[in-house]
Amino acid sequence: MNPPSHGTCSPGTPQERKHVSTQAETFEFQVEARQLLQLMIHSIYSNKDVFLRELISNASDALDKLRLESLRGTELHADTSDLHIEIEADKEARTLTIRDNGIGMSHAEVIELIGTIAKSGTAQLLQELKEAKDAAASQDLIGQFGVGFYSAFMVADRVTLLTRHAAQHQGTRWESSGEGTYTIEAVEEAPQGTAVTLHLKPEDAEDRLFDYASEHKIKEIVKRYSDFITWPIRMATETARSAASADTDSAESEADGAAADEGEGATRPMETLNSMKALWARSRDEVTDDEYHEFYKHISHDWNDPLETIRMHAEGTFEYQSLLFLPSQAPPDLFLRERKRGVQLYVKRVFIMDDCEDLMPEYLRFVKGVVDAQDLSLNVSRETLQQDRQIQLMRRRLVKKVLSTVKDMMSEHPDRYATFWKEFGRAVKEGLLDDFENRDAILEISSFPSTHDAEESVTLRQYLDRMKDGQQHIYYMTGESRQTIESSPHMEAFRAKGFEVLLLTDPIDEMWVGSVPEFDGKQFQSIAKGQVDLDTEEEKKEVEAERERQQKEFAELLSWMTTTLSEKVKEVRLSSRLTTSPACIVGDTYDVTPNLENMFRAMGQDIPQIKRILELNPGHPLVTGLREAHGKGEDPAALEEVAELLHGMALLAEGGELSDPSRFITLLAGRLERTL
């Protein structure tokens, strides 16, 4: 979050000091905001130079928004003839001002946005910071959050902000030392835009706190981090002064009004510090990786380098260029409803909108970047985008490019792929539910924990390569954790016969496995549903007679138990999936799993209770003993208790919940007592 991205002016110039109200209100930072500010003030992030990048980025956003509003015909009555960013350093006063003439902020926006850092993800961030073991980990977490404006407190012991929204006449002045409070007051006749003035801390080379009032240092930072900004970043420099001084004898220079000296009302000679070249429009060999990384940080407000850079240039029926990035870490709000998603949309180098959702599907919401179209209208709206054929075609191609890039990463950079999947795999799998066109491509880049390796995830292609001769299914089981699944009775036969099973523990796994029938001709099969037959044709012939015999021997018991447990199960049958456990609970082929059933209920959906199937292990002593006792006609009440206990044990073994735990404990205690 970068609150003052609406614009940036300073109380440093005479014009800006006019008619300042003396009635300032004092506010307290929220607790979370105060904690985060203290982290910034005490320099948890070692590279303090980035504060200037963040403030310039906010100023650039403000200029983009003002130009966009003017293109839409909004009546702002704002001067857009010379939109720019200005940096002013005062070495004597030890101040640095970053000023823009962008859209600015209203009084209400200043109150809402500054001092209220505690938006989505803040509490989680602070908790993770407390748990971080070292400073490096803390820096990474700060980077995930993107503190933007507040990074100014790394280099300043006091920050003053003066702003006026382009549609209003009155401005607002905000000031704080970043401790516990800040002040806000109304200002008459403030300039359009926003200025942030930093009252700099003393230079401290040991703490990497440099002289940020130094012209040389400012130029170095702008060149490194903000050279690509599309607005001119200007500063009164020695170079500009020398050039102006040399031109004072020129009549043309006098006509232009250039002044060699600086004074009240004089126009200061300015130097533009950045090249303003759009990175996406430049060829790959003209741009360094560092430049791409800084551009990513500018548009994403992430302080970490991206994991992958994706370039795309399309020509033909319509032209567009794109520069996309895969982040190296998932943002804290990746799974929150109020998150923003989408890439920036430009038309012929003109910024149109942030977070253009129509260019990137929900499951790729973490992708950041820029798409620059040549043939769209400059006043295109979010509503018309949904119907625009070009946008839909661009979206299709961009999605395919992202997915193919991840696939290439799998083979060429497996470590980077592992990082990507760890951070974003859960989100990507959401695409299996609604992106039918790219379902196969998503399956190709997916990986899952499996019984093959306790540490490494496996791809479906790797699973297929290891399948046994004659195996027709991709076996999987869903559950809350790997440990729960591996200890399930359903795993016994698969473990005994050496069949690999995918262990699906993400909540989204419960959803997509029911709608994705197969991968490369092999059907997905839950080991906890339907009938399981792992025997080869030869093994079937060998055990066929034995199974027929067992079916006859257990027929009466199975019929009796089905009737006895009719309120709990739909059927009791013999199992071919058990080797050591006496019983297990399974679902019919198309039944909803218990986990999914619970998820639906948690979302407020009232779905009927689903009866499942109880399978018995015909070779287990408890089951054979029950068959014999039933055949002899022993105490029916006692046998019913055993049947109920068998069902309860099977339910607990798969991590389920008993409908009446106290009754189960009473029955179990009674049976144990009679054995002593």
Please state, in angstroms and as integers, the Cα–Cα distance from residue 444 to each residue in 10, 179, 573, following that order. Answer: 54, 51, 37
Are 634 and 658 spatial neighbours (Cβ–Cβ below 8 Å)? Answer: no
Buried b (16+ CB within 10 A) or exposed e, 370-390: bbbbeebeeebeeeebeebeb
- 121 assigned to a ligand binding site: yes
- 120 assigned to a ligand binding site: yes
Cα gap 487→90, rounded to integer Å: 69
- 666 assigned to a ligand binding site: no
Please state, in angstroms and as integers, the Cα–Cα distance from residue 450 to each residue in 468, 501, 515, following that order. Answer: 15, 6, 21
The letter for the amino acid at 449 is P
- 75 assigned to a ligand binding site: no
Are 493 and 416 spatial neighbours (Cβ–Cβ below 8 Å)? Answer: no
Return the closest-CA partner of residue 58 out of 354, 322, 278, 364.
Answer: 354
Helix (H) or strand (E) holding 418: helix 414-428
Tokens 């220079």, residue? 253
Buried b (16+ CB within 10 A) or exposed e, 631-666: eeeeeeeebebbbbbbbbbbbebbbeeeeeeeebee
- 105 assigned to a ligand binding site: yes
Cα gap 428→364, rounded to integer Å: 6
First-residue to last-residue Cα distance in the chain: 67
Beta bridge partners of 613: 571, 586
Q: In 330-388, which residue ranges form alpha helices assigned H by DSSP?
A: 382-385
The letter for the amino acid at 245 is S
Q: Return the beta strands (E) in 569-629 as ranges.
A: 569-574, 583-586, 612-616
For the purposes of burial, counting CB atoms within 10 Å of the CB of 570, is it exposed (0-12), middle (13-18) or buried (19 or more)? middle
Cα gap 622→416, rounded to integer Å: 51
Are 211 and 109 spatial neighbours (Cβ–Cβ below 8 Å)? Answer: no
- 524 assigned to a ligand binding site: no
Distance of CA 461 to the CA centre of its chain: 26
Q: Return the beta strands (E) in 118-192 as ranges.
A: 156-164, 170-176, 181-188
- 588 assigned to a ligand binding site: no
- 58 assigned to a ligand binding site: yes
Cα gap 506→511, rounded to integer Å: 10
Helix (H, G, I), strand (E, B) or coil at 157: strand
Please state, in angstroms and as integers, the Cα–Cα distance from residue 190 to each residue in 169, 195, 236, following that order. Answer: 8, 10, 22
Cα gap 341→386, rounded to integer Å: 15
Helix (H) or strand (E) holding 39: helix 31-41
- 451 assigned to a ligand binding site: no
- Residue list for the binding site for ATP: 54, 58, 100, 105, 119-121, 144-149, 194, 382
Known binding-site residues equal 54, 58, 100, 105, 119-121, 144-149, 194, 382
